[in-house]
Amino acid sequence: MVIKGRRSVRKVSVIPLLRPFVLVVALLTTPLVPPLQAQEERVLRDILVDSLRSVYDIWEGQVPAVLEEGDVPVDQFAAPAPFGPGEHLEYKVKVGIFNAGDGYMSVLGIEEHEGSPVYRVNLGIKGGIGPARVNDMYQTWFDVTTLQTWRYIRDIDEVGYQSYRHWEFYPEIMRWERIDFDRGGDLGSALPLDEIAFIYFIRTLPLEVGKTYTLNRYFKEEGNPVKVTVLRKDRRETEGVFYNTIVVSPEIQTDGLFGQGGKGEIHFTDDERRIPVYVKSDIPNFPGSLTLHLQSITEGHPLNPVSRLAAKEGRASRGAQTEAPGSGLH
């Protein structure tokens, strides 16, 4: 599949990272029986979906190769960004005080669309509570220069529910198309972002405390505008490591964990990396929170030369702090 058309620049939107675990909690109390229409649709699409999955290799090889700096060439046309090929973040997912699974976010590498480089990024979540299991994969291909999405795949495999969605974006005609199903719609932005690319875009923002960013970048019109409010600075501990963080509250104009009825927070590291350390969502009418806790970091290599230099200086600074007596701060 070839994506046509190119480019220009704007701003962003945010995603419910923990959406699958809302279903897990619901399944503990309410059996889910897929509607007949959904079952029929699934049967009709099985052959196509299986062929698409074989192309994109949903679960195999999702941890990026360990890359040395010399393995990742600098790109002077790349947008300033704190992430790059080789970055791999692992998380523990909790529902209240209970462990509910594991998740990760990976910048697998740089691929090409129409002669232009794009990041390929995956977010995976596995786990559940008791018999209620989830095994979900989100994949996005977004532009190295404009950070806009060109392709987005969402593969949901949960007890009682399965869904495969594959979108291609055509901003030159302001349309999105579903490849897995004969369906399309109007783009909500000439520089569209899906839910996953959205998180990476937020990492490129200044994130000034007290400021609210109003962003019209979500690919579906009904999701705009997205509001991202920078609440405060904080200090967060996970796995025995303390991080200075910037706390952000996102709100997207749809239902979901960060929708208008829910409250959420994302704690990004208060340094040049802007790594999501902790994600929390308080669900309406649900006693307790869903949270993601950072377990490990493998840093990547930013493409932009200024971002690459900032990453090198940041690693050197953190290395000096780690060697200092009694230091546990990252």
DSSP state of 87: -
> What type of residue is 325?
P
- The pLDDT confidence band at residue 114, using thresholds 50, 70 and 90, is confident
Q: How confident is the model over 153-180, as pLDDT tens digits?
A: 999 887 788 889 999 999 999 999 999 9
Q: What value does the mean pLDDT take over residues 189-216?
A: 95
Alpha-carbon radius of gyration of the chain: 19
Report the alpha-carbon angle 186-189-193, nearest 5.
Answer: 105
Rounded-to-integer distance, Cα 49 and Cα 245, Å: 40
Looking at residue 60, its pLDDT comes to: 53
Structure tokens at 53: 């999955």
Rounded-to-integer distance, Cα 108 and Cα 186, Å: 29
Say what the alpha-carbon torsion angle 26, 42, 53, 254 is, to the nearest 10 degrees: -50
Indicate the average pLDDT of the chain. Answer: 80
The CA distances from residue 144 to 3, 171, 195, 259, 288, in Å, are: 15, 16, 17, 28, 38
Rounded-to-integer distance, Cα 329 and Cα 203, Å: 20
- Closest by CA to 12, choosing from 194, 144, 150, 167, is 194
CA 103 to chain centre: 11
Given the structure tokens 């998180």, which residue do they identify? 199
**How many Cβ atoms from other residues are within 10 Å of residue 76's Cβ?**
8
Contact by Cβ (8 Å): 191, 13: no
Tell the burial category of 78 from Cβ atoms under 10 Å away from its Cβ (0-12, 13-18, 19+). buried
Q: How confident is the model over 271-319, as pLDDT tens digits?
A: 999 999 998 876 555 556 778 899 999 999 999 999 999 999 999 998 8
Tell the burial category of 242 from Cβ atoms under 10 Å away from its Cβ (0-12, 13-18, 19+). middle
Phi and psi at residue 46, to the nearest 5°: -55, -45
pTM score: 0.80
Q: How confident is the model over 218-276, as pLDDT tens digits?
A: 998 888 888 899 999 999 998 889 999 999 998 877 654 454 544 688 999 999 999 99
Paired residues of 185 in beta bridges = 176
How do 183-186 and 212-215 pair as beta strands? unpaired
Rounded-to-integer distance, Cα 262 and Cα 47, Å: 37
Is the per-residue pLDDT at 73 higher than 70?
yes
- Closest by CA to 198, choosing from 258, 285, 284, is 258
- Closest by CA to 263, choosing from 239, 275, 277, 247, is 247
